């Protein structure tokens, strides 16, 4: 009986552990930046924005150039001329 049990256990196929699927780090950054452009802000920093560049009126009546839908905590940033 022990021999039969041992033979049965040895004849069962062992499950193969598949390696976890990983995405290369390069693809993640490329897909996150699809369709955008880098701009220089009025403060001198670079920012990546997805939306169009627009002109917005200031309180004093002037126009300022801004980029929209930018990464980070500000949706609109003033651009350097």
70: Cβ contacts below 8 Å, ≥ 6 apart: 39, 47, 48, 49, 50, 51, 76, 77
Residue 5 has pLDDT above 50, yes or no: yes
Q: What is the mean pLDDT of the chain?
A: 81
pLDDT at residue 11, as a whole number? 77
- Smallest Cα–Cα separation from 51: which of 63, 39, 64? 39
**Rg, Å, the chain Cα set:** 29
Residue 32 has pLDDT above 80, yes or no: no
What is the phi/psi pair of residue 79, to 5°?
-95, 155
């Amino acid at each position: 009986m022990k021999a039969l049990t041992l033979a049965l256990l040895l004849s069962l196929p062992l499950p193969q552990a598949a390696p976890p699927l990983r995405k290369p780090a390069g693809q993640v950054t490329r897909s996150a930046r699809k369709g955008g452009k880098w701009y220089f802000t009025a403060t001198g920093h670079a920012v990546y924005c997805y939306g169009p560049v627009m002109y917005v009126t200031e309180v004093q009546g002037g126009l300022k150039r801004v980029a929209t839908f930018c990464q980070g905590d500000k949706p609109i940033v003033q651009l350097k001329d």
